[in-house]
């Protein structure tokens, strides 16, 4: 069997546990292609196909084409959107489909705590730095996340940024009780796909006033994989939303290529369709989504004006840069000082005390 090479883009978005499982399943099943003859097997073993993990720009454009003008799509999967290539691809999708895309932002790694917070707040106030070279009017960062509920280091950054400017934070998976030590603004938090064995229960998060989210979709996989959704059937999803009440948020749960409508999956609009079919009003989840994504925008601080003063070589007077004079490699405050230094033949050792 030929070696199963894992692309860098895939490695960047998978945990070590997922990579080990992916490698094992690719060897067992031969890196299955996502095509009609293999769809059933790929759904049973979703990590057995590298193609199943790679959603390219063409797939995304085809999936959102039917959403209609000015639709809003939130991309919650962590990724390096600071790269110009990733932003350009998403912006092109948004422009072609005439939709708006909101993405999450995460703090950079290997920098100090304050720098991480500043980077997150800067993204939310001004957009990603690499977007300066793109026309990103239909694409912008709108929340912090998604952050693993067990990653206390990233949660500390997210909640401190939230305390300072009220930004929304999206947390996924099991939730550590360690978040109770952070300055959490619960009404600006959303906790998605919290399993029953989470240290902090779903009901407890609701009692704090946070939004709780559920991902739709039917999971028929025969083996667990990292990040698997706790709700595996459509009826479970509908009942969970009904039981949640006023704080519910929903997600399509799209993560694999087999989730796309082009490959026989439910697609982006499936979650809303399920609720409508079950007779559940969708007005509440729409209102909750808008409420979660709304926060007081704080204009970035004006950059401090950098001034530099130049010292006159002859008399020592300091002048603002740009208001000084230069001659023969020396800086002066006025033409008269140039003339006096000229009489000294521009000797670098001669200054005002020289009477020449």
pLDDT digits (tens, 9 = 90+) for 122-165: 888 888 776 554 556 788 888 998 899 999 999 999 999 999 99
Distance CA 65, CA 55 (A): 15
Share of the chain above pLDDT 90, in %: 32
Q: Comparing 273-277, 295-299, 326-330, which segment has the lowest mean pLDDT?
A: 295-299
Tell me what the pLDDT averaged over the chain comes to. 82
Inter-axis angle of helices 84-97 and 57-64, to 10 degrees?
30
DSSP string, 333-349: SSHHHHHHHHHTTT-TT
Written as six digits, the tokens of 265 are 């999956």
**CATH 3.20.20.140-classified regions of the chain:** 55-293
Distance CA 288, CA 32 (A): 39
Nearest CA to 336 out of 176, 236, 189, 327 is that of 327
Q: What's the average model confidence in pLDDT over 160-179?
A: 94
Beta-strand (E) ranges in 228-323? Answer: 248-251, 309-311, 318-320
Written as six digits, the tokens of 117 are 């917070």
- Give the pLDDT of residue 211: 96
- Give the pLDDT of residue 17: 55
DSSP state of 176: -
Sheet holding 248-251, edge to edge: 72-75, 100-105, 139-148, 169-172, 189-192, 211-215, 248-251
Torsion from C-alpha of 327, 329, 333, 336, nearest 10 degrees: -40
pLDDT digits (tens, 9 = 90+) for 343-353: 888 888 877 65
Which CATH fold would you assign to the domain 55-293?
Answer: TIM Barrel (3.20.20)
Nearest CA to 140 out of 152, 158, 122 is that of 122
- Give the pLDDT of residue 3: 38
Rg (CA), the chain: 28
Q: Is the pLDDT of residue 10 over 80?
A: no
pLDDT digits (tens, 9 = 90+) for 181-219: 999 999 999 999 999 999 999 999 999 999 999 999 788
> b/e per residue, 139-169, with b = 16+ CB within 10 A?
bbbbbbbbbbbbbeebbbbbbbbbeebebbb
Q: What's the average model confidence in pLDDT over 163-191?
A: 95
Nearest CA to 249 out of 76, 68, 13, 69 is that of 76
Q: What is the pTM of this model?
A: 0.75
Q: Is the pLDDT of residue 270 over 60?
A: yes
> In terms of C-beta density within 10 A (0-12 exposed, 13-18 middle, 19 or more buried), how is residue 211 classed?
buried
């Amino acid at each position: 069997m030929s070696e199963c090479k894992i692309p860098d883009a895939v490695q960047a978005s998978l945990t070590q546990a997922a990579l080990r499982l992916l490698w094992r399943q690719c060897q067992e099943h031969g890196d299955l292609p996502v095509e009609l003859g293999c769809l059933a097997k790929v759904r049973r073993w979703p990590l057995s196909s590298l193609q199943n993990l790679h959603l390219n720009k063409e797939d995304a454009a085809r999936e959102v084409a039917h959403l209609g003008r000015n639709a809003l799509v939130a991309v919650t999967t962590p990724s390096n959107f600071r790269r110009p290539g990733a932003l350009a691809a998403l912006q092109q999708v948004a422009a072609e489909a005439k939709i708006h895309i909101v993405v999450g932002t995460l703090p950079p790694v290997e920098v100090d705590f304050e720098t991480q917070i500043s980077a997150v707040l800067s993204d939310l106030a001004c957009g990603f730095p690499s977007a300066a070279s793109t026309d990103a009017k239909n694409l912008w960062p709108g929340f912090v996340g998604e952050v693993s509920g067990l990653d206390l280091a990233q949660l500390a950054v997210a909640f401190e940024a939230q305390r300072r400017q009220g930004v929304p934070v999206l947390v996924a998976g099991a939730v550590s009780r360690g978040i109770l030590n952070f300055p959490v603004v619960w009404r600006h938090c959303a906790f998605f796909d919290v399993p029953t064995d989470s240290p902090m229960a779903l009901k407890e998060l609701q009692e704090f006033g946070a939004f709780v989210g559920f991902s739709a979709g039917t999971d028929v996989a025969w083996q667990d994989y990292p990040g698997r959704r706790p709700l595996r059937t459509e009826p479970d999803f509908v009942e969970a939303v009904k039981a949640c009440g006023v704080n519910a948020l929903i997600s399509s749960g799209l993560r694999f290529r087999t989730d796309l409508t082009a490959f026989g999956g439910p697609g982006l609009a499936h979650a809303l369709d399920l609720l409508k079919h079950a007779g559940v009003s969708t007005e509440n989840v729409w209102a909750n989504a808008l409420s979660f994504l709304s926060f007081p925008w704080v204009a970035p601080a004006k950059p401090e004006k950098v001034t530099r003063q130049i010292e006159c070589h002859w008399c020592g007077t300091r002048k603002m840069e740009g208001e000084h004079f230069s001659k023969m490699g020396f800086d002066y405050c006025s033409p008269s000082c140039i003339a006096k230094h000229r009489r000294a033949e521009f000797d670098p050792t001669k200054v005002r005390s020289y009477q020449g």
